[in-house]
Structure 1
Amino acid sequence: MVAFERAGKRYGPHGEGGFTAVENVDLTVARGAITGIIGRSGAGKSTLIRMVNGLESATSGRVLVDGVDVGALSEEGLRGLRRQVGMIFQHFNLLSSRTAFDNVALPLEIAGVDKKTIRAKVGPLLDLVGLGDKQGNYPSELSGGQKQRVGIARALATDPKLLLSDEATSALDPETTQSILELLKRINAELGLTVLLITHEMEVVKTIASHVAVIDAGRIVEAGRTFDVYTNPKHQTTRTLLASALKLPEWLRSGIKAQPSVGDRALVRLVFFGETAFKPLTGRLVAELGSDVNILAGAIEEIGGEPFGSLVVSYSADPDVIARADRFYSETGLKTEVLGYVA
Structure 2
Amino acid sequence: MADIPTAPPPGGPLPADTAPPMVAFEQVSKVYAATGSQAAFTALDDINYSVPRGTITGIIGRSGAGKSTLIRLVNGLEKPTGGRVLVDGTDVAAQSESALRTLRRSVGMIFQHFNLLSSRTVFDNVAMPLEIAGQSPAEIKARVAPLLDLVGLGDKAGRYPAELSGGQKQRVGIARALATSPKLLLSDEATSALDPETTLQILDLLKTINHDLGLTVLLITHEMDVIKAVTSHVAVLDQGRVAESGRTFDVFMSPQHATTRVLLSSMPGSGLPDAIQRRLKPTPAAGDNVLVRLVFFGKTANQPLTARMASTLEADVNIIAGAIDEIGGEPCGTLVVAYPADPAVMERAAQFYQQTGLRAEVLGYGA
Q: TM-score, normalised by structure 1?
A: 0.87
**Residue pair 1:51, 1:57 contacting (<8 A) in 2 also:** yes
Q: State the alpha-carbon separation in 2 of the partners of residues 143 and 101 from structure 1.
A: 16
**Residue pair 2:46, 2:241 contacting (<8 A) in 1 also:** yes
Number of residues of Structure 1 aligned to a counterpart in Structure 2: 339
Deviations for 1:195-224, whole angstroms, at most 9, x for unmatched residues? 111112222222221211111111111111
Tell me which residue corresponds to 2:25: 4
Letter in 1 for 2:327: I
Superposition deviation, residue 246 in structure 1: 2.3
Superposition deviation, residue 293 in structure 1: 2.4
**Residue pair 1:269, 1:338 contacting (<8 A) in 2 also:** yes
**Residue pair 1:257, 1:342 contacting (<8 A) in 2 also:** no
Moved more, 151-160 or 266-275: 266-275
Q: State the alpha-carbon separation in 1 of the partners of residues 96 and 135 from structure 2.
A: 22
Relative distance call for 1:258 and 1:176 in structure 2 (3 A) is farther
Tell me which residue corresponds to 1:96: 118
Q: State the alpha-carbon separation in 2 of the partners of residues 162 and 172 from structure 1.
A: 23
Tell me which residue corresponds to 1:136: 158
Letter in 2 for 1:219: R
Letter in 2 for 1:310: G
Are 1:297 and 2:322 counterparts? yes
Superposition deviation, residue 258 in structure 1: 11
> Unmatched 5+ residue regions in structure 2?
1-21
Which of the residues 245, 262, 272 maps onto 2:267?
245
Are 1:232 and 2:254 counterparts? yes
For the residue of structure 2 that corresponds to 1:179, the secondary structure is helix
Relative distance call for 1:341 and 1:101 in structure 2 (3 A) is farther
Deviations for 1:90-125, whole angstroms, at most 9, x for unmatched residues? 111111222111111111122222222222221111
Tell me which residue corresponds to 1:206: 228
**Residue pair 2:279, 2:366 contacting (<8 A) in 1 also:** no
Which of the residues 312, 323, 336 maps onto 1:313?
336
User: Max radius of gyration: which structure?
Assistant: 2
Letter in 2 for 1:5: E
For the residue of structure 2 that corresponds to 1:164, the secondary structure is strand
Q: TM-score, normalised by structure 2?
A: 0.82
Letter in 2 for 1:140: A
Are 1:72 and 2:97 counterparts? no
Tell me which residue corresponds to 1:220: 242
Q: State the alpha-carbon separation in 1 of the partners of residues 80 and 25 from structure 2.
A: 10
Q: State the alpha-carbon separation in 2 of the partners of residues 104 and 46 from structure 1.
A: 24
Letter in 1 for 2:30: K
Are 1:148 and 2:170 counterparts? yes
Relative distance call for 1:268 and 1:90 in structure 2 (3 A) is farther
> Unmatched 5+ residue regions in structure 1?
none
Q: State the alpha-carbon separation in 1 of the partners of residues 268 and 364 from structure 2.
A: 13
Deviations for 1:52-79, whole angstroms, at most 9, x for unmatched residues? 0011211111100011111111222221
Are 1:59 and 2:84 counterparts? no
Letter in 1 for 2:360: T
Superposition deviation, residue 165 in structure 1: 0.6
**Residue pair 1:5, 1:62 contacting (<8 A) in 2 also:** yes
Superposition deviation, residue 266 in structure 1: 6.7
Percent identity reads 62
**Residue pair 1:211, 1:223 contacting (<8 A) in 2 also:** yes
**Residue pair 2:292, 2:360 contacting (<8 A) in 1 also:** yes
For the residue of structure 2 that corresponds to 1:92, the secondary structure is coil
Deviations for 1:222-269, whole angstroms, at most 9, x for unmatched residues? 1111222222222222222222112469x9269846973799987643
